[in-house]
Homo-oligomer: A and B are copies of this chain.
């Protein structure tokens, strides 16, 4: 069967996990926009202080970092450090032809670990909680990548 068919359960598993992670990451940008509008601040560029329909009363304070906005930016940055690598690592991993159940556990496990990481970060849980959830996702990523490397090397 065509390895890149969305009717193939293995590739469909990857596509579902990948698209969920893309939507999650894009969601951070929209959440940043939402919080900037709610806070009327947390902007970054000098021109953001021009009077416009969306910013009728500009104020220099709007360029000061706003913790509610910065928190989303940190979560977003954490996604940028992880998700693009996952998107490629997961793709290459399914090309090694792993057992479907294992692939589902790893790919969906990764998605769940990132959603929980988001929840922990958004609600300001302790560093220990956040780090544990990040570690689970990172170990899944490393496992899939190392497995692919070994397969490409002929092992």
Contact = CB atoms under 8 A, between A and B. Distances in A.
A26 B86 CA distance: 10
**Which label, helix, strand, loop or mixed, suits the secondary structure of the A interface?**
helix
A110 interface: no
Contacts of A38: none
A85 B149 contact: no
Contact of A131 (B33, B76, B125): B33
A115 interface: no
B125 A47 contact: yes
Interface string A1-31: 0111110000010011011101101100110
Nearest to A48: B127
A131 to B, nearest CB: 7
